[in-house]
Amino acid sequence: MHPALLFKLATTFLLIGLISTSAVLAQELVIVHTNDFHGHIQETQKYAGAARITAEVKAIRENNEAVIFLDAGDAISGTPVSSMFEGEPIFEVMNTMGYDVGLLGNHEFDHGYRKIERFRDIAEHPLLTANAYGPDGELLGDAPYVILDIAGIAVGIIGLVTEDSPKLFSPVGNEGLTFAAPAERLDVLIPEIRPQVDVLILLAHIGHEEELALAEQFQALDLIIGGHSHTLVEQPIQVGRTAVAQAHQYGTHLGLIRVNRAPGKPAGPLQIRGKLLKAKDLAEPDPRVENLVALFESKVEDEVDVQISETTRAYSKIELQPILESILAQAAGTELGFYNRRGIRDELSVGPVTARMLWNIEPFGNTLVRMRIKGKDLIVLLAQEPELHHSVPDIDPDRQYHLATNSYIASHAELAFGDDIETVDTGLLIRDILIQHIKANGL
Q: List, for residues 350-388, the tens digit of each pLDDT value.
A: 999 999 999 999 999 999 999 999 999 999 998 877 655
Q: Is 60 helix (H, G, I), strand (E, B) or coil?
A: helix
Nearest to 251 by CA among 279, 287, 226, 228: 279
Structural domains in the chain plus CATH codes = 3-298 (3.60.21.10), 306-441 (3.90.780.10)
Q: Of 344, 375, 338, whose CA–CA distance to 359 is shortest? A: 344
State the first-to-last Cα distance of the chain, in angstroms, to the nearest integer. Answer: 47
**pLDDT tens digits, residue range 391-438?**
566 899 999 999 999 999 999 999 999 999 999 999 999 999 999 999
Q: Chain-wide mean pLDDT for the chain? A: 92
pLDDT at res. 261: 77
Span 101-122, mean pLDDT? 98
Across 20-34, average pLDDT: 73
Each residue of 270-316: pLDDT tens digit? 999 999 999 999 999 999 999 999 999 999 999 999 999 999 999 99
Residue 108 has pLDDT above 50, yes or no: yes
CA distance 202 to 43: 29
Strand-strand pairing, 223-225 and 242-245: parallel
Helices (H), 354-427: 355-361, 375-382, 407-417
Segment 236-247 shows an average pLDDT of 97
More confident residue, 399 or 1: 399
pLDDT level of residue 24 (50, 70, 90 thresholds): low
Q: Which helix (H) or strand (E) holds 80?
A: helix 80-84
Helices H / strands E in the chain, number of each: 14, 20
Predicted pLDDT of residue 27: 81
Burial class (CB in 10 A: 0-12, 13-18, 19+), 27: middle
Q: What is the pLDDT of residue 391?
A: 52
Q: Report the C-alpha gap between 127 and 149 in whole angstroms.
A: 18
404: three-class secondary structure by DSSP: strand
Is the pLDDT at 390 greater than 60, yes or no? no
Does residue 70 contact residue 156 with C-beta atoms inside 8 Å?
Answer: no
pLDDT digits (tens, 9 = 90+) for 195-221: 999 999 999 999 999 999 999 999 999
**Cis amide leading into 269 (omega within 30):** no
Question: pLDDT tens for residues 126-147?
Answer: 999 999 999 999 999 999 999 9
Distance of CA 306 to the CA centre of its chain: 27
Q: Are strands 351-354 and 336-337 parallel, antiparallel or unpaired?
A: unpaired
Q: How confident is the model at residue 15 (pLDDT cuts 50, 70, 90)?
A: very low
pLDDT score for 426: 96
Task: Give mean pLDDT, residues 150-164.
Answer: 97
How does 12-26 read in b/e, with b if 16+ C-beta sit within 10 Å? beebbeebeeeeebe
88-97 helix and 287-298 helix, angle to the nearest 10 degrees: 170
* pLDDT at 267 > cutoff 80: no
